[in-house]
């Protein structure tokens, strides 16, 4: 190659000047450049369109991701709010249940107290009736005993006529003394 360049330089110096347009290498280079420009321009258009389409697709995906993220955040906030409301409602229900249990317990205690007082009063009433019956039995027994004793005493001391008068008088007084 060095020799070709040296020969070319020597030829040019000797007055052999070949025209640049006569050199086939020049025309190959010009054709190559023109072909490259023609194909490159079309390739540039195709590449820029493909890149623009790709950029639009990526931009759309970014927007979709942003929209989905915002929806997810809204949904998360909604679920957190619902969870707080559920916790508050559960606490309210628990408080209500405790209050209801206290109220029912107080009512049961009150009802038990009333029942015990009623039973106590019934027992007192039964005891009073039993005492009254016992007193009545003792009075009746005492009256029977007194009558029997009086009859024996009078039988021995009184005449039958006088005894009949006394018995009649005692019978008349008996209702007043028993009441």
Over residues 73-104, the pLDDT tens digits come to: 999 999 999 999 999 999 999 999 999 999 99
Residue 69 in any domain: the answer is: yes
Across 141-147, average pLDDT:
75
Residue 114 in any domain: the answer is: yes
Residue 1 in any domain: the answer is: no
Phi/psi at 159 (5° precision):
-80, 165
Residue 165 in any domain: the answer is: yes
- Mean pLDDT over each residue of the chain, to the nearest integer: 83
Residue 167 in any domain: the answer is: yes
Residue 84 in any domain: the answer is: yes
Name the band, by pLDDT with cuts 50, 70 and 90, for residue 1.
very low
53's tokens: 């389409």
Residue recorded with tokens 């970014």:
62
Residue 9 in any domain: the answer is: no
9 has a pLDDT exceeding 60: no
Interatomic CA distance for residues 98 and 88, integer angstroms: 15
Domain count, the chain: 1
Domain coverage including residue 131: 35-178
Contacts 24+ apart (CB under 8 A), 44-53: none
Interatomic CA distance for residues 150 and 166, integer angstroms: 10
Would you call 127 helix, strand, or coil by DSSP? helix
Residue 24 in any domain: the answer is: no
* Count of Cβ atoms closer than 10 Å to residue 143 Cβ: 14
């Amino acid at each position: 190659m060095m020799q070709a360049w040296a020969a070319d330089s020597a030829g040019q110096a000797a007055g052999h000047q070949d025209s640049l347009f006569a050199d086939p290498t020049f025309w190959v280079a010009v054709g190559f450049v023109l072909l490259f420009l023609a194909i490159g321009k079309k390739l540039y258009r195709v590449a820029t369109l493909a890149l623009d389409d790709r950029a639009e697709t990526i931009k759309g995906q970014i927007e979709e991701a942003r929209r989905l993220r915002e929806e997810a955040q809204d949904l998360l906030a909604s679920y957190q709010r619902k969870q707080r409301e559920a916790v508050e409602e559960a606490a309210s229900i628990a408080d209500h249940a405790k209050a209801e249990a206290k109220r029912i317990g107080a009512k049961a205690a009150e009802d038990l107290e009333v029942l015990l007082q009623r039973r106590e009063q019934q027992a007192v009433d039964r005891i009073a009736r039993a005492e009254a019956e016992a007193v009545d039995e003792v009075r009746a027994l005492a009256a029977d005993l007194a009558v029997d004793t009086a009859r024996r005493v009078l039988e021995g001391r009184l005449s039958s006529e006088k005894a009949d008068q006394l018995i009649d008088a005692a019978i008349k007084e008996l209702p007043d003394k028993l009441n």
